[in-house]
Structure 1
Amino acid sequence: MDKTQFLNELEAKLAGLDSEEKQEVLADYMEHFAVGESSGKTEQEIVFDLGSPNEIARDILAERGGQLSEESYYMPNQQKKRGAGFKVGIFLAMLIPNLIIYSLLLSFWGVVAGFIGSTVGFFLTPLAFVLDAVLNQAFEWYKFFGTIGIVGLGFVFLVATIWLAKVMIMATVSYTKFNFHLMKGESRHV
């Protein structure tokens, strides 16, 4: 549902109000859309946050002592509640894709763990250099400059590790939320 559909449905459900009050309410909700759009939300996200026009109209009319007409109880966009059998069917239909996708996510988390281990290893190189110099009682310049280069590579790996971990967190959370919304039967998945 977009902004126009939302406002038209709300206006139709507020048929019991006089014209001036109805326009005030609609102006308030147009302002909600303006504020939401200025903060980067889509019209669908704003509608989702506001709730159904039916509930809004019911609350507004209840405050003013009115009631919704019988025809306003029809909501074409309302989803039916899914039964347990339907949810089991969705679970079974999503079982193989979930096994594949979660296996891929787990393998990519292994890559993240490898990057973390490499980064820690690169940053521990100066300790190894000092231990080598103390135990062998020899300071060698090529090892010193090699250590500096490896620590620099450690910083590159640190940035890559942080970026990769953020991407993996977003992917894992988004896919898990998608599955929860799918099982609940909600039309907004992510």
Structure 2
Amino acid sequence: MDKTQFLNELGVKLAGLEPEERFEILADYEEHFAAGAVSGKSEQEIVFDLGSPEEIARDILAGRTEEPVEEAYYVPRPIASKKRSTGSKTGIFLAMLIPNLVVYSLLLSFWGVVVGVAASTVGFFLTPIAFVLDVILNHSFEIYKLFAVIAGLGLGFIFLVFTIWLAKVVLLATVGYTQFNKHLMKGEKKHV
């Protein structure tokens, strides 16, 4: 049973309630699905954790005089998929070993680029300190150095924006590929 089926069935079971109250209850359960999705759960796992809509409706209506509306048709629940065996997981691990080594090596090198660009950004932002130290220690003020410092600060801001963007892209790629591998090992149909 997926989210839509769950919410539809719960809405039918709570048909005796006022529409506003039913809407609030269904909105609460939609929030459960959103929170579960953020934590990486599938809709089927969330439904399993919540329980059946019939039981939920019975609990909600227990203190009231309304009884849950009985439905005239049977909705079969999907059979939970079996988890992969240890041998199957080992085979998948061995099959994915070389691709994972290649992809994670590339991701590691991209993280190296992010660190390098971030270090350059810090260097550009430190140029005013170097300029002030040069003026104090050498007792000489040269205007071209001041313009170089201003240009360095400008480059620092450009590199800062680029560093943030690059870090987000590499983080999304790393998390996405790791999630793909996790779902592949678990045997879930939906990979990302």
TM over 0.5: yes
Query: Does the CA contact (< 8 Å) of 1:33 and 1:46 recur in 2?
Result: no
Deviation digits for residues 96-126 of structure 1 (CA, Å, limit 9, x no counterpart)? 1111110110010011011111011101111
Instruction: Please state if 1:108 is matched with 2:104.
Output: no
CA-based RMSD of the aligned residues comes to 4.0
Query: Does the CA contact (< 8 Å) of 2:127 and 2:153 recur in 1?
Result: yes
The structural deviation recorded for 1:136 is: 2.6
Residue number in structure 2 paired with 1:56: 52
Residue number in structure 1 paired with 2:131: 129
Query: Does the CA contact (< 8 Å) of 1:6 and 1:47 recur in 2?
Result: no
Deviation digits for residues 24-52 of structure 1 (CA, Å, limit 9, x no counterpart)? 69x77x9459956xx8xx9xx98447415
Residue number in structure 2 paired with 1:184: 186
Query: Does the CA contact (< 8 Å) of 1:181 and 1:189 recur in 2?
Result: yes
Structure 1: runs of 5 or more not aligned: 12-19, 65-71
Residue number in structure 2 paired with 1:144: 146
Task: Point out the more displaced range, 176-185 or 107-116.
Answer: 176-185
Supply the distance in 1 between the matched residues of 2:16 and 2:87 (Cα, whole angstroms): 46
Query: Does the CA contact (< 8 Å) of 2:13 and 2:54 recur in 1?
Result: no
The structural deviation recorded for 1:7 is: 6.8
- SS of residue in 2 equivalent to 1:51: helix
Task: Point out the more displaced range, 84-93 or 159-168.
Answer: 159-168
Q: What is the count of residue pairs matched by the alignment?
A: 168
The structural deviation recorded for 1:152 is: 1.2
Task: Point out the more displaced range, 92-101 or 166-175.
Answer: 166-175
Flag the 1:81–1:50 CA change in 2: closer, same or farther, 3 A.
closer
- SS of residue in 1 equivalent to 2:189: coil
Query: Does the CA contact (< 8 Å) of 1:3 and 1:33 recur in 2?
Result: no
Structure 2: runs of 5 or more not aligned: 63-73
Q: Which has the higher helix share?
A: 1
Residue number in structure 2 paired with 1:155: 157
Supply the distance in 1 between the matched residues of 2:89 and 2:125 (Cα, whole angstroms): 49
Supply the distance in 1 between the matched residues of 2:148 and 2:84 (Cα, whole angstroms): 63
Aligned positions of 1:1-190 closer than 5 A: 21=13, 31-32=26-27, 47-48=43-44, 50-51=46-47, 55-56=51-52, 59-60=55-56, 75-76=77-78, 78-190=80-192
Task: Point out the more displaced range, 155-164 or 175-184.
Answer: 175-184
Task: Compute the TM-score of the two structures, normalised by the length of structure 1.
Answer: 0.67
Flag the 1:22–1:146 CA change in 2: closer, same or farther, 3 A.
closer
**Residue type matched to 1:187 in 2?**
K
Deviation digits for residues 114-141 of structure 1 (CA, Å, limit 9, x no counterpart)? 1111011101111221222233321111
Identical counterparts, % of pairs: 54
Supply the distance in 1 between the matched residues of 2:114 and 2:99 (Cα, whole angstroms): 22
**Residue type matched to 1:110 in 2?**
G
